[in-house]
Amino acid sequence: MTDFQVSLSTDAAAQQWGDKAPLSMHENGAVIHIGDASDVSATIGQAARTIDTLNIKRVALTGNWDFEQQWAFAMSYTRARDAGQITWADNDDKSRLEQHYQAMRFTRKLVNDTPEDLSPENLATRAADWIKDLGGDKVSVDMIVGEDLQKAGWTGIYNVGRGSERPPVMLEVDYNPTGNPDAQVDAVLVGKGITFDSGGYSIKSSEGMLDMKCDMGGAATVTGALGLGIMQGLQKRVKLLLCCAENLISGHAYKLGDVLTYKNGETVEIVNTDAEGRLVLADGLIRAEETGAPLIIDAATLTGAAMVAMGKDYHAVFSMDDDARDKMLASAKAENERFWPLPLEPFHKSRCPSSFASTANSTSQKGGGAGGASNAAGFLSRFVNPQGKGWVHLDLAAAYHGSASAQMPVGATAKGIRSIARMLADF
């Protein structure tokens, strides 16, 4: 089968293709016209979606393409199911593109897989196996499963996941290229791994539950980022912590009014079982702080409030450490990914008050009320050092599209893996 050839041109399309048409066809393929485009990546993405909707299964990028142009095509052309194949343009970017594409495809597949196929243990195992495949003997793995979580004191993951027949898991992957078991841990990545979120007894509507297989998008994103970093030659010791559970209803599920006691002494009243992501991340952040790492990044599809604020174009960035926040934003800018800061102040710790515990896990208002994304970040700040030094929280509003758009296919995006990988290298 001959590949469908796609090239770029700064010339306008012939008039028969329409006024300022971004795409024209010829006998062997298509030309994307970027000459008048105010956003070249968006124009390429829209053209790639058009080509994919024609069910063209093999494309070859020909002529002059730079890295970002090829990446924009790949992000938009690569659909969730039965994706086509891409042959990269003949330039020096091929190896780098293959590394990025492998990480993107891995991340997207994890998120797009059905919740039946992706149990908490399956998520943890697949993430660990992929990192081990990339890092070899530089990687060690530890998994705490089911009732052992309660015995170890990881109360958030245990309680959120105990309503399911499939047990919750805390995964710890240690990538240590130094070969020294006593080496400083340079960074910790913490990912929310809720493989399906029914909302628990604070049950979601059917419509609200439909896309909740994506609620482990944070776990997939930080795994994809670490894998990309390893492929790029990362020489820092990094730990990956995935907090994996299914949030389901049963006679053994956690309930509204329960009070959880965490390892750091914080007590949390459950006022909304659908605010479960922050409960599992709290365990991950406590463990991350135990390592003494100067950089902790957590990532989660945490709040609808972040999506209201950011749409599906940006990931929200929170930090009480100005330097860490600025470096995260600089990493995103360097990688042409859209991140944007939202406010987090010490007073946000107290925005979920409780009469029965040191804090509640949310408020009684739907979605956490006004400032819900910042309030969730404030809750998490209770589980890192008091100043939040070196901690960055990412609320991944752009991780998943429930329906296709003119520029992006339906499903997971893998946006963020590039920025986090760069942050690991540069921090």
> Nearest-CA neighbor of 46 among 23, 14, 24?
23
Q: How far apart are CA 158 and CA 95, in angstroms?
A: 41
Complete DSSP assignment for 122-185: HHHHHHHHHHHHHHGGGEEEEEEETHHHHHHT-HHHHHHHTTSSSPPEEEEEEE-TT--TTPPP
Q: Which residues pair with 401 in a beta bridge?
A: 411
> What are the respective helix, strand and coil percentages of the chain, to the nearest 5?
40, 20, 40
**With the CA atoms of 152, 278, 214 and 143 taken in that order, what torsion angle do they form, in degrees rounded to the nearest 10?**
-10
Is the C-alpha dihedral spanning 74, 398, 327, 127 positive or negative? negative
Q: Which of 278, 287, 382, 415 is catalytic?
A: 278
204 is catalytic: yes
Q: Which residues pair with 187 in a beta bridge?
A: 238, 295
Q: Which residues pair with 192 in a beta bridge?
A: 243
Q: How far apart are CA 331 and CA 419, in angstroms?
A: 5
278 is catalytic: yes
Name the one residue in this structure whose structure tokens are 């890092």. Answer: 135
Is the C-alpha dihedral spanning 342, 343, 349, 351 positive or negative? negative
Q: Which of 204, 263, 312, 389 is catalytic?
A: 204
CB 421 within 8 A of CB 107: no
Burial 400-426 (b: 16+ CB within 10 A, else e): bbeebeebbbebbbbbbbbbbbbbbbe
CB atoms within 10 A of CB 394: 29
List, by residue number, the catalytic residues.
204, 278
